[in-house]
Structures are given as C-alpha cells and as structure tokens.
Amino acid sequence: MELRRSAGRATPRHARDHAVVLGASMAGLLTATVLSRTYATVTIVERDALPEGAEYRRGVPQGRHIHALQASGVLIMEELLPGLRAETVAAGAKQGDLLGGIRWLFAGHRLRRTDIGQPLLFCSRPLLEGQVRARVAKLPGVSFADGHDVVALATSPDRRTVTGVRVAASGGAGGDGGERVIDADLVVDTTGRASRTPRWLEELGFQPPPVEKMTVDVGYASRSYRIPADFLHGDRLVLTGCTPQNLRGGGVETIEGDRHLVTLLGMLGDHPPTDSEGFEAFAETLLFPDVIDAIRAGEPLDDPVVFKYPASVRHHYERLRDFPEGLLVLGDAVSAFNPIYGQGMTSAALQAQALARQLAGGGAPDWRRFFRAASAVVDAPWDTATASDLVFPGVQGRRTLRTRFVNRYVIRLQGAAVSDVSLAEAFVRVAGLVASPQSLLRPDRAIRVLLRGRPSGSGEPRRPVPAPQG
C-alpha cells in the first residue's frame, strides 16, 4: 500500500474547503471517507508513523486483542467503502455468520446455532485497519500527515471559530519537533479516549461537555496461537462471557495467517496474568472449557500482552449550548465503551454515517445537529453496555426498576436461547447492533422467554467458579 503523505507539506495553498481529521484510527479513517465526498481536500493528522500494511502500532494498543466488528459495522463500512469486505477476505480475513459462525457462551448458556445470513469478518485489528487505510489513501483529495502530534487548536481572534490545528513532528518520526499550523474549514477530533477537546474547550473559554462514567476495571491479556485447523470445527469465534459469579471471560478468534488470537479478560480487577502458566490457569477457570481446550490444542506464537480499561466514558457534547464553529468530535473521543461488548468500531461507523447524512443535506456541518444525531446512534450501544455492566453488583451506577427487569429478562432469554434458535437470533442481532434492544421485548418473544427461559447458570456443567478476588 502506498499512503499519500502531506507530512512535509505546509498548509495547502487553498485552505478553503479543507477538512482536517485528527487521528488515523477507525473513527478517523471513516470520518475522512465521509468528508472526502464534500471537501476538496482532507488531511488526516496522526501521531504514529503509519505502517504500510497490517502491523500493530503504538497509538492503537488495543489492536493486539480480539477485535470483533459487529454486523452493523460490516454493513456500514461496506456502504462507505464498497468492496472492502471482499478485499479484506482476499487479504486473509475469514467470513462467518453472526450466529452460525460464533459460539456464544453467555450467562452460563451455550446459545443454539444456525446461519442467519449475517456474514461477519474475522481478522486481526491491524489487518482490518490496514485495509480501510489503504482504501482511504486512494480517495480523491485525501492525504496523511502521519508522524505528527496535534498539540493545539488554531482559532479566530475571538476564539469562537476553529481555523486549523497546530501540529508538531512526533518524536519517533525523526522530525525536529517544530510546530506549524494546518489551516482548515473543519477540524474533526477522532483522537480516541485521550482526546484533548474538553481541555481545549476550557482553554478557549467554553464549557467542557458533561461526562458520564462507569467504572468497570477490565483487564485483558492476549496471545496468538497456531491451533489445528479443524479443532474449532469451522467456528470463527468462541466467546465466553463473564457473570456476577465468575468475573472472567475470554475468546478465541480465527485470524489471518492460519493464526488464532486468544483473549482472556476479567471485570472489576479480576485480571488475567501474563505468564504462560498463569494465563492458562486463568483460562481454566472460565465458565466453559472451550477456550482452555483450544489453548491446550494449540502452540503459542508470542507472549501475552495486557490492556487495562478502567471505565466506560461518554462525553455528552449534545448537551452543550455553546461550542466553537468549525469543530466536531467523533468516535471513542465521544463515547468509549467497556470493550467486552465489542461495539467501539461500529459506534464510530454509526457516527460517521450520521455525519454523512448531515453533509448530504448540503452546507457546512452544524455542530448542534451533528452531536444530536451522533448521540442518538450512540444511545443504543451505550445503554446496552452500561445496563449489562450493572448486572455485576460491584459496578456502581443507578439500577432503575427497568434496568433490573431488562437484565433479568435478557439472562432468562439467553437461557431460552439454548434451545430456541429464534431467540438466539434475536439476541445476537441486538449484540451485533443490527436490531434495537427493544426488539427483544416483542410480545411473541416475551412469551417464549417466559415459557422456556432458565435462570443464569442452569445450563450445562462447567469448570469450577473461582472465588471472586479483591
């Protein structure tokens, strides 16, 4: 892949009609795709020196862990970049069905399986990001200023309009660290959880957005393996969920290069260790034996790596009454979810799609309308993730009557989905963000849940549950 780079270039000669995207991860790439339809030129500023292909990089440390792209994310990315799915498969990704290709082992239940016509992609995060980046690099007017750190916003003298960004060559890029300004008609911040927009707003005299936080203290450890091809019987992903009785979960995903990625995780401080023995001992304690069996059948290819995720955080930009013109924020910078639900890339895609809809109406994007539209699409994944976290007594948050009822209902539904494939399908469509959470409450489904549902943990016998730590 050849990236068009503008790193050494000064501000474009015609600054009008120029958009600058901060961050070249999934949200930034999808945002640039959408902007390239309307803006003559789009510059993506990225701190990392971007690799040519599917390599792990420092700015996306989560890329070393299982990264499931939800069904809705696959559909939106294909709509934004037609042909992406086939190209990613040609580059080594596997395809598999949302229900038929995944072993869903949730709330102590093994969900019934069948193909439901929702093909997903299974590959490493660097492969998917590399494929998207390669496509974005070919879009007319798009260039990358990688190896550049965004250090500040540039504004009009009255500080009410953002007119560009101040960037400096990042240490690793071999630059001298000297700063320069890239002018822009629009700046979109997609720098993820570390976004500095709230701080910049305060410096400019605006209120920062109200923040909602839910502490989950999740720890990940991942390692790649070579597992015999037929061991998983063609299944692309095995997912074992945590429960309040067992805070540990994990998964095995088929990725490119005949490899499998094994991720172990634990909620509320019950984190997996990284030494080989401890890693396997942790896998041994998951509710189902599928992950440890795969580990035992496989050969490790590297050492486990960790990631700690303290809290889900949502910035309510849609609640602001005043905000600078010429600036938007999108992706994890707006809403970063507990990663165990695998929603972040799809949430970024949904927000990019909301931006595309607004731009299709003509004119410059309006921050009020955009933040309202983005918030509307973030609501479902945010509500699902935070409500699911509230199942765990150790998670602090408001448990309304509705949350308690829905959580109990969903666990019962998962129990019924052990034998009722239509309920299994209904559940995975919601998890895949292709159906609304409300769809689970449809009267015909509720009746089946009441008739066939089983409380958590009454499925097949499993490994002993470890004593909760801490």
Interface residues with ligand FAD (CB under 6 A) are 22-28, 45-48, 59-60, 62, 65-69, 149-150, 190-194, 220, 307, 309, 331-333, 339, 342-346, 348
Calpha distance 259→293 (Å, rounded): 16
Backbone CA torsion sign across 376, 382, 387, 388: positive
Contact 122, 96 (CB under 8 A): yes
Closest distance of CB 107 from ligand FAD, Å: 19
68 vs 262, which CB is nearer to ligand FAD? 68
User: For residue 207, which of 199, 195, 217, 196 has the smallest C-alpha distance?
Assistant: 199
336 vs 418, which CB is nearer to ligand FAD? 336
Closest distance of CB 50 from ligand FAD, Å: 9
150 vs 264, which CB is nearer to ligand FAD? 150
Closest distance of CB 444 from ligand FAD, Å: 30
59 vs 365, which CB is nearer to ligand FAD? 59
269 vs 457, which CB is nearer to ligand FAD? 269
Closest distance of CB 125 from ligand FAD, Å: 7
Closest distance of CB 408 from ligand FAD, Å: 26
Contacts of 276 (CB under 8 A, 6+ apart): 300, 303, 304
Pairing of strands 248-255, 335-336: unpaired
101 vs 339, which CB is nearer to ligand FAD? 339
Calpha distance 291→288 (Å, rounded): 7
Closest distance of CB 362 from ligand FAD, Å: 27
Helices 443-452 and 421-431: angle between axes, nearest 10 degrees:
120
User: For residue 295, which of 305, 307, 275, 281 has the smallest C-alpha distance?
Assistant: 281
User: For residue 247, which of 221, 217, 223, 273 has the smallest C-alpha distance?
Assistant: 217
Contact 469, 394 (CB under 8 A): no
